[in-house]
């Protein structure tokens, strides 16, 4: 009943939008976004096929791999939020997202090989690798398969393997409704939902709406931006379907030899913490940081998160990174986790 009510509300809002002229606003916003997306990216024809990517900044190379529903634009946004300045950020659109097609083999290993092919095309030999959410599996595969090219690995709220396969959106009626919007490339209903169904979308993004309600203006704007940047869904649907196909297999975590930082939150509604713990336990030299609150978007921790990653990378400077041979798994101090 709740799902039908929510669908009815979105439908009624859509009808009202058409009548009020908001549909024209939707078309204008979508057209402007589509033009901006194409203008701000590049296409590399690699041995693994056509790969779209964005690139910005100067400094150490950082391959930033976006999550589900993203694209190169989300990768660049996450780099600004989590890395800041001082990096040459390379953000590919993964298979099925925006202008990167889905190949016959769309496995995480194939994605890792595509990342390497893109770096080859750009003449980048070594890089920091950061995988966020559903971008984590190919980041892990890259670090495992290309150890000589990975100077450090950062996994943020990673959708990765755990023995009980717990990661993913909760199968609530509301979440199933949102998933259908994605699968059906329903651009206008999703746009309408951002106006009248914000709480439902926030929960779908792995954050308790009550947590968002208490967040400051900066974090609420961050959520608004991430919700809006899912559009156009029609250009991301194939990637979303590819991301959700099949269960996650256990990667060769023990084969990763670079310094690794894994970050998650206890209240992440996507349940990434079990996979984060499993990865940190099995990757040599891994450091695990766990926020008590923040949800999948790590709300109210932007500055702390950026500082945490900066400190980690400053301690592990490329080829000079220390190799202790020990796993390090630590949680955040109670004072920090309570922010």
Q: Which two tokens stand for residue 64?
A: 């930033």
Tell me: pLDDT of 4 over 70.
no
The pLDDT, as a whole number, for residue 316 is 81
For residues 130 and 139, the answer to whether their CB atoms sit within 8 Å is yes
The pLDDT, as a whole number, for residue 226 is 87
Integer Cα distance of 88 and 79 in angstroms: 10
The pLDDT, as a whole number, for residue 17 is 53
Question: Which of 218, 194, 220, 192 minimizes the C-alpha distance to 207?
Answer: 220
Q: Which two tokens stand for residue 66?
A: 């976006």
CA distances from 307 to 84, 130, 236 (A): 10, 15, 31
For residues 122 and 145, the answer to whether their CB atoms sit within 8 Å is no
Integer Cα distance of 204 and 178 in angstroms: 7
The pLDDT, as a whole number, for residue 165 is 77
Integer Cα distance of 259 and 65 in angstroms: 18
Tell me: pLDDT of 286 over 50.
yes
- Where is average pLDDT lowest: 42-56, 179-193, 282-296, 322-336? 322-336
pLDDT in tens, 45-92: 999 999 999 999 999 999 999 999 999 999 999 999 999 999 999 999
DSSP class of residue 112 equals: H
- The alpha carbon of residue 45 and the mean position of all alpha carbons in its chain are separated, in whole angstroms, by 24
User: Which pLDDT band, with edges at 50, 70 and 90, does 6 fall under?
Assistant: low
21: left (phi over 0), alpha (psi -120 to 50) or beta: left
Contacts of 187 (CB under 8 A, 6+ apart): 30, 231, 232, 233, 234
- Where is average pLDDT lowest: 58-62, 276-280, 303-307, 333-337? 333-337
Read off the pLDDT of each residue in 312-339 and give the average, rounded to a whole number.
48
Coil vs helix vs strand at 313: helix
pLDDT in tens, 10-20: 555 555 555 55
The pLDDT, as a whole number, for residue 20 is 58
Q: What is the pTM of this model?
A: 0.87
Query: Strands 127-132 and 60-65, how do they pair?
Result: parallel
Tell me: pLDDT of 94 over 60.
yes
- The alpha carbon of residue 243 and the mean position of all alpha carbons in its chain are separated, in whole angstroms, by 11
Question: Which of 195, 193, 165 minimizes the C-alpha distance to 179?
Answer: 193
Tell me: pLDDT of 280 over 80.
yes
Query: Strands 49-56 and 42-46, how do they pair?
Result: antiparallel
Read off the pLDDT of each residue in 117-135 and give the average, rounded to a whole number.
98
Integer Cα distance of 204 and 168 in angstroms: 10
User: Which pLDDT band, with edges at 50, 70 and 90, does 220 fall under?
Assistant: confident
Which CATH architecture is the domain 39-166+245-337 placed in? 3-Layer(aba) Sandwich (3.40)
Q: Which two tokens stand for residue 125?
A: 């030999």
Higher-pLDDT residue of 181, 284: 284
The pLDDT, as a whole number, for residue 304 is 95
The pLDDT, as a whole number, for residue 8 is 56
């Amino acid at each position: 009943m709740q799902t039908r009510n929510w669908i009815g509300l979105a439908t009624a809002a859509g009808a009202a939008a058409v009548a009020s002229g908001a549909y024209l606003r939707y078309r204008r916003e979508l057209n402007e976004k589509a033009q901006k997306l194409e203008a701000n990216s590049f296409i590399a024809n690699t041995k693994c096929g056509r790969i779209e990517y964005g690139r910005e900044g100067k400094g150490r190379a950082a391959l930033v791999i976006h999550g589900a529903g993203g694209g190169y634009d989300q990768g660049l946004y996450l780099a600004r939020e989590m890395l800041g300045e001082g990096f040459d950020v390379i953000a590919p659109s993964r298979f099925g997202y925006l202008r990167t097609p889905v190949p016959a083999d769309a496995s995480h290993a194939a994605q890792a090989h595509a990342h390497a092919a893109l770096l080859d095309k750009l003449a980048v030999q070594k890089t920091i690798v950061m995988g966020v959410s559903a971008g984590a599996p190919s980041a892990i595969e890259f670090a495992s398969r290309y150890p000589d090219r990975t100077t450090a690995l950062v996994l943020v709220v990673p959708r990765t393997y755990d023995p009980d396969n717990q990661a993913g959106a909760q199968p609530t009626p509301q979440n199933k409704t949102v998933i259908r919007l994605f699968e059906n490339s329903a651009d206008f209903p999703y746009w309408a939902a951002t106006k009248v169904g914000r709480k439902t979308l926030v929960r779908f993004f792995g954050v308790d709406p009550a947590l968002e309600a208490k967040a400051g203006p900066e974090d609420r704007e961050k959520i608004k931006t991430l919700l809006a940047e899912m559009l156009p869904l029609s250009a991301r649907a194939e990637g979303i379907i590819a991301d959700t196909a099949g269960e996650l297999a256990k990667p060769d975590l023990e084969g990763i030899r670079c310094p690794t930082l894994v970050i998650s939150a206890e209240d992440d509604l996507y349940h990434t913490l079990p996979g984060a713990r499993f990865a940190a336990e099995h990757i040599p030299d891994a450091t695990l940081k766990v926020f008590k609150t923040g949800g999948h978007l790590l709300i109210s921790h932007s500055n702390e998160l950026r500082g945490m990653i900066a400190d980690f990378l400053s301690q592990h400077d490329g080829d000079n990174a220390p190799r202790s041979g020990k796993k390090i798994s630590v949680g955040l101090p109670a004072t920090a986790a309570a922010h």
